[in-house]
Structure 1
Amino acid sequence: MNRVEHIAGHTFHGRKGPITNAFRYGVDYVLLDAEGAVKAPWLFSRNRANLMSVSDRDHGGPPGAGSGARWLREVLAAHGLPSPSKIELLAQPKTLGHVFNPVSFWLCHENGLRIVVAEVTNTYGDRHCYLCLHDDVSPIGPDDWIEARKVMHVSPFQPISGSYRFRFDLREDRIGIWIDHTNETGGVYTNLIGPRKPLTVAGVLRASLRRPLGSRRVLALIHWQALRLWLRGAIFRNRPTPPTQKASR
């Protein structure tokens, strides 16, 4: 039985281009086996309500109607990619019944990390997944940058153009993920960095006290930063029709 791990880390966002903006916030992520039984403290549950939880229906498919790792294996098969022996999910947990993940990560292992699927969700409820892998599906190293074309609207102050570059440095004691989006007007640079530790009752309580609103706080901060950009004259773009494909590279 695999333990659930807690990443009490931070995320940094920096806007590139003529109107700059940057911020750094603390975040709580959990890392767990996406298919097998997990060992977790009593304040954490999988697929049922608790102070902190992760539900399959929130990942792998439309938000609130997902099917977890089964969906992921179907997507990999549809793209002609090998089925991994182990799948882990790195995501912000649901807190008191509410969850919003701007990006979660499916980690696919087969004698090393072979594929990462970045599950991106915007504030309109649209979702698209980016398949991050080498062309020969060789192991992803901590210094490797993997590129994917941006196809879904995320920020109303960024165009749907350009590309993402991902880097994954996943160690036994620490997680580091970097995403660099570049387009004709600039782009955005972001990261997620934090230590890996077993999730404990004390850890759940500390996270709940430190950030009691959970993902509601994430949504509030997103809208606060959007207001700041609008007041500084950044161009607002209306939400276009989301992509019809589930995943892309």
Structure 2
Amino acid sequence: MKTVATVLRGAVMHERHLPVNNRFSYALFMLCLPLSRLKESGNALLGIERWRLFSFFNRDHGARDGSPLEPWIRAILQRHGLAAACNGDVLLQTLPRLFGFVFNPVSFWYCLDEEGRVRAVLAEVNNTFGEHHNYLICHEDHREIRAGDELRARKVFHVSPFYPVRGEYRFRFSTHGSHLAVAIDYLDGGLLQLATRVSGRHEVLSAGSLLRAWIGCPLLTFGVVARINLQALRLVLRRVTIFRKPSPPVQERT
């Protein structure tokens, strides 16, 4: 992966297979920011630790206390024995704040080796109750994560009230040139319950590329929350079972 700040313009798709079928897709754009040069990524429209049309604040990620993000992720990698494998940059793929508002269902931290190969990914998941959990994804031997590789994580965090906290996630990551794709399947009892796809094409981050992305997706973070509530209403009207939210896991990361 290239360690330059980019705008990832593409789409997100969700398809529920069980208990009822419900599929939707919509345009979306995200930022992909190298943590080693985070302060240099701002421009006339994007403020780093400052308010602009779009903004990025450390407090929306990591320890959530506004502290620098790179030492935080490096400490996690060190604890899990990944420091040597992930000795390159870390790229954070996330939604920016728009007019000061943000909700990130999931952000991805791509941890690279010195040759720019992905060795681990931290999936930072948020739910609509203000809770968050981090899934650290890698091969047991810490080898490169290649296109087509399947990596699994046990589900321990409540996201949707229409699914219980059990089962597992199956992740696949693919990068080809300027294209990036993430596939997340949720399985329970070995059956595919929900398929999520995030894909897009990188453009070098600038005020111009950010403006073009916004024109194609003007609601961005507001639209994300609106669609979550709309799809939830549809499932309620179809009388899909609702599961009570359990307490969040004690450990913030696996």
What band does the TM-score fall into relative to the shorter chain?
A: over 0.9
- 1:63-212 correspondence runs (5 A): 67-82=68-83, 83-110=86-113, 111=115, 112-184=117-189, 186-212=192-218
Task: Give the residue type in structure 1 aligned to 2:227.
Answer: L
Q: Give 5+ residue unaligned stretches, structure 1.
A: none
Task: Give the residue type in structure 1 aligned to 2:163.
Answer: Q
CA shift at 1:67, angstroms?
Answer: 4.4
Match for 1:215 among 214, 221, 225?
Answer: 221
CA shift at 1:227, angstroms?
Answer: 0.6
CA shift at 1:6, angstroms?
Answer: 0.7
Match for 2:54 among 52, 55, 63?
Answer: 52
Q: 2:243 matched to 1:231?
A: no
CA distance in 2, matches of 1:42, 1:245: 39
Quick check: 2:203–2:209 contact (8 Å CA) kept in 1?
no
CA distance in 2, matches of 1:152, 1:66: 24
**Aligned equivalent of 2:40:** 38
CA shift at 1:186, angstroms?
Answer: 4.6
Of stretches 48-57 and 202-211 in structure 1, the one that deviates more from structure 2 is: 202-211
CA distance in 1, matches of 2:5, 2:129: 30
Quick check: 1:114–1:140 contact (8 Å CA) kept in 2?
yes
CA shift at 1:40, angstroms?
Answer: 4.7
CA shift at 1:206, angstroms?
Answer: 2.9
SS of the residue corresponding to residue 212 of structure 2 reads helix
CA distance in 1, matches of 2:247, 2:188: 19
Task: Give the residue type in structure 1 aligned to 2:54.
Answer: M
**Aligned equivalent of 1:22:** 23
| CA offset digits 1:173-192 (Å, max 9, x no partner) | 11100001111475210010
CA shift at 1:39, angstroms?
Answer: 4.3
CA shift at 1:8, angstroms?
Answer: 1.2
CA distance in 1, matches of 2:153, 2:182: 15
CA distance in 2, matches of 1:173, 1:85: 19
| CA offset digits 1:112-161 (Å, max 9, x no partner) | 11000110101111111111100010000011010010100000001111
* TM-score between both structures, scaled by the size of structure 2: 0.90
Quick check: 1:4–1:40 contact (8 Å CA) kept in 2?
no
CA distance in 2, matches of 1:40, 1:174: 23
CA shift at 1:80, angstroms?
Answer: 3.0
Give the 3 Å change call, closer, same or farther, for CA 131–153 of structure 1 in structure 2. Answer: same
Q: Give 5+ residue unaligned stretches, structure 2.
A: none
SS of the residue corresponding to residue 208 of structure 2 reads helix
SS of the residue corresponding to residue 228 of structure 1 reads helix
CA shift at 1:172, angstroms?
Answer: 2.7
Of stretches 202-211 and 141-150 in structure 1, the one that deviates more from structure 2 is: 202-211
Quick check: 1:32–1:38 contact (8 Å CA) kept in 2?
no
Task: Give the residue type in structure 2 aligned to 1:85.
Answer: G
CA distance in 2, matches of 1:116, 1:133: 7
CA shift at 1:68, angstroms?
Answer: 2.0
Task: Give the residue type in structure 2 aligned to 1:175.
Answer: L
CA shift at 1:69, angstroms?
Answer: 2.4
Identical residues among aligned pairs (%): 36
Quick check: 1:143–1:168 contact (8 Å CA) kept in 2?
yes
How many positions carry a matched residue from both structures?
A: 246
**Considering only aligned residues, what root-mean-square deviation do their CA atoms show, in Å?**
1.8
Task: Give the residue type in structure 1 aligned to 2:73.
Answer: L
